[in-house]
Structure 1
Amino acid sequence: MKLFDVYSLFAINIVKGKGTRVWDDNDQEYLDLYGGHAVISIGHCHPHYVKVLERQLCNLGFYSNSVINGLQEKVADRLGRVSGYDDYQLFLVNSGAEANENALKLASFHTGRTRVLAAGHAFHGRTSLAVEATDNPKIVAPINNNGHTTFLPLNDLPAWERELAKGDVCAVIIEAIQGVGGIRLATPEFAQGLAEACRKHGTVLICDEIQCGYGRSGKFFAHQWLGIKPDLITVAKGIGNGFPMGGVLISPRFVPVKGQLGTTFGGNHLACAAALAVLDVFNKEHLVDNAHEVGEYLIGKLKELQETEPHILEVRGRGLMIGVDLDVPHKDVRVPLIHQEHCFTGCAGTNVLRLLPPLCLTKADADLFVSKFKHILDTL
C-alpha cells in the first residue's frame, strides 16, 4: 500500500527535536520558525512534557468518556483560570476542525438557525461544516457545498451588520488573526461592533483561536487584544504541543443536554496529560509573556530589515504569529531558507512568509533568523 499523495513535501525527514531546533536523518540541524504549523507551543521534546506523558502512559493511556476522567476536570479548571474564562464550560475533542464543527453545531442547536457568516480568506478546517466556513473552493467538495455560509470582508462592519439584521444568522465565526489568510488582523472597532450586532440579533459569536490562540499572540487568546468576549472559543494546535487535541470553551448560557455532543477519543487520558504539561510549562517559563516580548522584538527587527530590503513589502502580526509580505513568490525565499540556511518557515497565499515558532523562541533565535532571512533576500 502507498500513501495517498495529497501533500507537497520537502525532501527532508525530520527525526528529532529539542526546543526551537529539529534535526533530519542526516543529523542536519534546523532552526524551526514553523513549529509544525503553530502546533509546537512549549518547544520540541520539552523534558517536563516527556516525563508527564511517559508517566501517564505507564498508568493508563485511554479509557472512554463513559467513566469519570479526573484529568479532564483538571484541564478545564486550569484552562479556565489561566485564560480568564473560569465561568465557561469545556468540551474536549481531537482537532481544530472537530472543535469548529462542534461549535457550529452548538450554535445551531441554540438558535435553531442554519446560516453562518465567515470572513473572506477564512480557514476553519476540512470537515463538513468547518470546510463550508472556509473560503477556499478548492477544498470544498460538492457534498460540503450546502450554501450555509456567507463570506464577508474582514473589518467591514457595515457589511456584517446588514447580514445580521436579516435575523437568520446562526453563528458568526472569525479568527482574530487570520493564519492561512495571510496574518490579517481584525481591528478592535470591527470586533466590538460585531459582538454588539451579534447580541442584538441573537447570533452566536465564535472565535476560532486554533492557530492564533493559546498564547501565540502574546495574550492567552488573540481576541483578548480586541476587547470582546465570544460565546464560543475553539482551541487546538498548541493545547497539546503535538499530541492531537482540541476543545470548545462554551459560555454558561449554553445548557448541556445528554448526548448532544460526543467523541470517542476526545479528552482521553494521554491527551489531558499533554495539555496539563503544556500549562505547567506556560506557567513556569512565562511563555505567553515571552511570546509577546520576543514577538515584538522580532517584528521590530523585520521592520528594520524592510527599510533596506525592497523585497519586503509589509510586516504584520502579533506576538509569535507574523506575516511578511514579499514582492516575490514565498517559495523563492522559503525553499532556500530550508536547503541553504536550514531554517523552517510557513507560508500563506502566494507571497506571504508565515512565522509560527515555538513560544520559547529567544531573542538570539530571532536575530539568527533575521540574519538567515537577510542572506537569502540579498541573493535574489
Structure 2
Amino acid sequence: MKLFDVYPLYDVTPVSAKGIEVWDDKGQKYLDFYGGHAVISIGHTHPHYVAKIKDQLDKMAFYSNSVQNPLQEELAEKLGKLSDCTDYDLFMCNSGAEANENALKMASFHTGKAKVISFKNSFHGRTSAAVAATDNPSINAPINQQQEVTFLPLNDFEAFEKVITSDAYCAVILEAIQGVGGLDEPSTEFYQFIAKKCKENNVVLIADEVQSGYGRSGKFFAFQHHNIQPDIITIAKGMGNGFPVGGVLLHETFKPSYGLLGTTFGGNHLACAACLAVLDVVDNENLIANAASLGSYFKEKAVEIPQIKNVKGRGLMIGLEFDFEVADLRKKLIYDEHIFTGSAKNKKLLRFLPALNITKEHIDLFFEALKTVLK
C-alpha cells in the first residue's frame, strides 16, 4: 500500500521540535513561523503540555461520552472564563470542519431552514456542509453541491441586506479574519450590521474562529475586536496545540436534547488534557497580550522592507503581500534560510502564523532572513 497522493510536499522531514525550533532527520534546525497551519499555539513540546498529556495517559487515554468526564466540565469552565464567553455551552468534537458541520446543523435545527450565507474567499472545511460553504469549487464535489449556499463579497452592505431579508436562510458563517482566503476582514461596521440583521431575521450567526481564535488575533476571539456576540462560535487548531480536537460554543439560548449531537472521539480524556494545558499556558504566560504586542512589532518591521506592498491581519495572524507570487520566496526561505512560512489563496501573500510565545528576537531573525532572500 502507498499513500493517497493529495499533498504537495517540501523535501523536509521534521523529527523533533521545541518552541518554534524544528529539527529534521539530517540535524538541520528550522524556525517555524507557520505553526502547522496555526495549530501550534503555545510552542512545540511545551513542558507543561507534555507533562499534562503524559500524566493523563498514565491514568486513562479514552472512554466514550456515555460516562461522566469531569475534564470536559473543567475545560468548559476555564474556556468560558478566559474567553469571556461564560454564557455559552461547549460541545467537543475532533476538527474545525466537524465543528462547522455541527454549527451549521444546529442553525438548521434552530430555524427550520437550510440555506446558508458565506463570503467570497472563505474557508470552513472540507466536509459536507462545511465545504459547500467554502469558496473553492475545486474541492466541492457534486454531493456537497446539494447544499444551498450564497457567497457574498465582504463589506457589501447592500448585497447582504438584499439576501438575508429573503426569509430563506438558517445561518451566516463568517471568519473575522479569513485564513486560507488571504487575511481579508469584515469591517467593524459590516460585522455589526451582519449581527443586527441576523437578529432581525432570525438567522443564526456563526463565528468561525477555527484559525483566528485562541488569542491569535490579540484577543481571545477575533470577533471580539468588533463588539458583537455570535450565536455560535467554532474552534479547533490552536485549541489542542497539535492534538486533534475541535469545539462548538453554543449560546445558552440553544436548548440541548439527548442525541441532538454526538461524537465517538470528541472530548476524550487526552484531548481534554491537551486543551487544559493550552489554556493554562495562554493564561499564565499572558500569550494573548504577547500576540497583540508582537503583531504591532511585526508590522513595524515590515514597513522597513520596500518590496512589501501591504500587511494584512491582526496579532500573530499576519500576511505580507507582494507584487509577485510568493511560491519561490517560500522555497528560498525554507531551503536557504530554514524558515517555515505559509501561503494563501492569494498567491502574492506570505502567511505568518507562529506560536503565540515567540519573541521580538525571533521576529528580527525572520526579517533578516526575508531581506536576504529578497536581494
**Fold match by TM threshold 0.5:** yes
The within-5 A match list for 1:19-58 is 19-58=19-58
Q: Which runs of 5+ in 2 are unaligned?
A: none
SS in 2 for 1:258: coil
What's 1:240 paired with? 240
What's 2:370 paired with? 373
What's 2:207 paired with? 207
**8 Å contact from structure 1 (residues 124, 131) kept in 2:** yes
What's 2:168 paired with? 168
What's 1:273 paired with? 273
What's 1:319 paired with? 315
Residue 296 of structure 1 and its aligned partner are, at CA, apart by: 1.0
In the aligned structure 1, how far is the partner of 2:186 from the partner of 2:354? 21
| Residues 7, 206 of structure 1: alpha-carbon distance in 2 compared, 3 angstrom cutoff | same
**8 Å contact from structure 1 (residues 123, 179) kept in 2:** yes
**8 Å contact from structure 1 (residues 299, 316) kept in 2:** no
**8 Å contact from structure 2 (residues 39, 238) kept in 1:** yes
**8 Å contact from structure 2 (residues 129, 147) kept in 1:** no
What's 2:352 paired with? 355
What's 2:128 paired with? 128
TM-score, normalized by length of structure 2? 0.99
RMSD: 0.7
In the aligned structure 1, how far is the partner of 2:69 from the partner of 2:350? 41
Residue 147 of structure 1 and its aligned partner are, at CA, apart by: 4.2
**8 Å contact from structure 1 (residues 236, 247) kept in 2:** yes
In the aligned structure 1, how far is the partner of 2:260 from the partner of 2:25? 46
Query: Is residue 66 from structure 1 mapped to residue 62 from structure 2 by the alignment?
Result: no
Residue 327 of structure 1 and its aligned partner are, at CA, apart by: 1.5
User: Percent identity among equivalent residues?
Assistant: 57
The within-5 A match list for 1:128-207 is 128-207=128-207
Query: Is residue 225 from structure 1 mapped to residue 225 from structure 2 by the alignment?
Result: yes
Moved over 3 A (4+): none
**8 Å contact from structure 1 (residues 88, 251) kept in 2:** yes
What's 2:14 paired with? 14
Q: Which runs of 5+ in 1 are unaligned?
A: none
SS in 2 for 1:196: helix
Residue 326 of structure 1 and its aligned partner are, at CA, apart by: 1.4
Partner amino acid, structure 1, of 2:331: V
In the aligned structure 2, how far is the partner of 1:26 from the partner of 1:187? 46
Aligned residues: 374
TM-score, normalized by length of structure 1? 0.98
The within-5 A match list for 1:77-96 is 77-96=77-96
> C-alpha offsets along residues 40-61 of structure 1, whole Å, 9 cap, x if unaligned?
0000000010000000000000
SS in 2 for 1:202: coil
In the aligned structure 1, how far is the partner of 2:292 from the partner of 2:14? 28
> C-alpha offsets along residues 257-305 of structure 1, whole Å, 9 cap, x if unaligned?
1101000000000000000000111111111111111111011211222
In the aligned structure 2, how far is the partner of 1:124 from the partner of 1:68? 31
> C-alpha offsets along residues 18-71 of structure 1, whole Å, 9 cap, x if unaligned?
001111011111111100110000000000100000000000000000001000
Partner amino acid, structure 2, of 1:87: D
> C-alpha offsets along residues 156-177 of structure 1, whole Å, 9 cap, x if unaligned?
1221111111011100000000
**8 Å contact from structure 2 (residues 103, 234) kept in 1:** yes
